[in-house]
Structure 1
Amino acid sequence: MRTTIQSIRTAYEAGERFAMVTAYDYTSAQFVDRSSVPLILVGDSLGMVVQGNDSTLPVTVDDMIYHTRMVVRGNSNALVVGDLPFGVTAIDDDAVRAAVRLMQQGGCQSVKLEGGTSVAALIRRLVDVGIPVMGHVGFTPQSVHALGTRVQGRDEANARRILEDALAVQEAGAWAVVLELVPAELAAAITERLSIPTIGIGAGAGCSGQVQVWHDLLGLYEDFVPRHARRFRSLGAETVAALDEYAAAVSDGSFPGPENASTMDAATLARALDDE
């Protein structure tokens, strides 16, 4: 049975922490389906880790629908949240249309959008038409050119701004909010002041839950380990080793072996060749 917003709410009220992970296709979603992770984010981070761009900005609504649809096909247990990509929240009508498409065509159970006070009215409008919304404050990757990739809220004024953003998101009706790259002390204080779950990434252990990027926690990129990530496995090195072993086996003739091929009896083969 698929995780619901209400079941996450129940866990939150019981003081239980929960994990969220990104997934971008059918295969990754199937792995999550076999795990105990209850939440999937189809993040616009796919722009970097899947498409090879240097930011999330080139990701389109069609991209998000395409990847969300694959994830939903591959997972029947986790609650799937789809990102609204850069630009669509600038005009409310565009954002509503995009959110409707993401849920109807992509099949997710919630959308996520970046911003605080500036998007509060949009969140309220989405919630009013029946679209569950997860907020996202602190460092917002879609604002990378304005903010840079750095921790937000270190000084008093910016810490206050992030708190106000989180409160505005909650007041607008969001059911949860991501806190990204904010000091652990600030994230814990915000979590205490909110009545909805916070989901941290680079925000310390004081949040209600945590989210990590698929490629980071599995160690798929050897040359990039964000400070906020923990490499729980080193599958990048394992993958390269497997590919090298495969290439060597083809080269030395040990693959494919008899067990990797179908056979036919000699008489049938002879008759077939004679027929030619």
Structure 2
Amino acid sequence: MVRWARVDTGEAAARAKGFEHPMRIGPPSSPRIDPVGGSGAAMTARPKRVTVHDLAAARRDGRRITMVTAYDWPTGRLADDAGVDCVLVGDSLAMVVAGRESTIPATLEQMIYHGEIVARAVARAMVVVDLPFPLQHLGVMRAVEACARILKETGCQAVKLEGTAGQAGVIEALVQAGIPVMGHVGLRPQAVHQLGGYRLQRDGEALRHDARAAAAAGACAVVLECVPREIAATITAELSVPTIGIGAGPDCAGQVLVLHDLVGLSPDRVPRFVRRYADARATITDAVARWRADVEAGTFPGPDETLG
């Protein structure tokens, strides 16, 4: 998943009016009781985890699925506290966290490192970790070994795999190994050079073929990225598993966005399909600037922040 064509966000901000929170999957999040230290301290309340069965039930019952990215403990905790159904540790961390031009540089070790941190932060949502390039193309056993490491070493509940119908055999092998898999078709950021850039994918027959192959191989859901609304709606109607759209219109069974984009942490521009719900970057920049000014003026720390 990638932060696609970047445009000004004024239009997106205007569309934010009238937003209603979608129905959540599973029980509402329970209040957390944080440990206070020492033997016999209060234990953290653990709400029921969202599972692949909950996603299937949501598809069957017509409930919308929500998924956002997270790359560290604070964002994982924030996403979970907000009540989203799935938290994706995406290979987009190469762009969002590391400032790279694409997702291709993300490594297996990086995905495991960030995935383990996020999985510890998330109590309720289903945690999904991306399989980075090029592991799904190096043979079935290499992919199974890599995904087994991800599942075992991070504590996540599923992996996500970009690919065409040619990777259906990999998905099938992963499912047979007991590893839940989300497929990802349409714009595949790991194949950005082959696709000629971050472009809307319009080949309806190829997209339908890829999505059907992923579902038939056992994928628990299929992400549709940068697909025209009509094609996404057709695929959603054809599949028995949920589709999760990003830049694929409102007819998908669920939606996913990069958290940094939707809360306004991304610098300057975001994809056209993003709606910003906050301007966190401006808020944080202003807070740091005011702190700097207080330090320079000698008013921080004051009596309330001084120990002793």
Question: 2-side partners of 1:16 and 1:122: how far apart?
Answer: 29
User: What SS does the aligned partner of 1:137 have?
Assistant: strand
User: What SS does the aligned partner of 1:178 have?
Assistant: strand
After superposition, the CA RMSD in angstroms is 0.8
Alpha carbons 1:222, 1:237 under 8 Å: kept: no
Residue in structure 1 matched with residue 260 of structure 2 by the alignment = 215
Q: Which residues of 2 match residues 260-275 of structure 1 at below 5 A? A: 260-263=305-308
Deviation at 1:220, TM superposition (A): 0.8
Residue in structure 2 matched with residue 12 of structure 1 by the alignment = 59
Q: 1:222 to 1:60 in 2, by over 3 A?
A: closer
Is 1:201 aligned to residue 246 of structure 2?
yes
Residue in structure 2 matched with residue 151 of structure 1 by the alignment = 200
What amino acid is aligned across from residue 143 of structure 1 in structure 2?
A: A
Residue in structure 2 matched with residue 55 of structure 1 by the alignment = 102
| Equivalenced residues, count | 259
Q: Per-residue displacement from partner, 1:199-235 (whole Å, max 9, x unpaired)?
A: 0000000000000001100111232211111111111
Question: 1-side partners of 2:261 and 2:108: how far apart?
Answer: 24
What is the TM-score when the length of structure 1 is the normalising length?
A: 0.92
Question: 2-side partners of 1:222 and 1:22: how far apart?
Answer: 17
Which of these residues, 109, 123, 131, is aligned with residue 171 of structure 2? Answer: 123
What amino acid is aligned across from residue 149 of structure 1 in structure 2?
A: Y
Which of these residues, 95, 104, 118, is aligned with residue 143 of structure 2? Answer: 95
What amino acid is aligned across from residue 199 of structure 2 in structure 1?
A: R
Is 1:45 aligned to residue 92 of structure 2?
yes
Question: 1-side partners of 2:267 and 2:189: how far apart?
Answer: 22
User: What SS does the aligned partner of 1:245 have?
Assistant: helix
Question: 2-side partners of 1:129 and 1:2: how far apart?
Answer: 21
Bigger Rg over Cα:
1
Residue in structure 1 matched with residue 296 of structure 2 by the alignment = 251
Q: Which has the higher helix share?
A: 1
Question: 1-side partners of 2:155 and 2:51: how far apart?
Answer: 14
Is 1:172 aligned to residue 210 of structure 2?
no
Runs of 4+ in 1 over 6 A off after TM superposition: none
Deviation at 1:9, TM superposition (A): 1.4
What amino acid is aligned across from residue 121 of structure 1 in structure 2?
A: G
User: What SS does the aligned partner of 2:53 have?
Assistant: helix
Structure 1 gap segments, 5+ residues each:
264-276
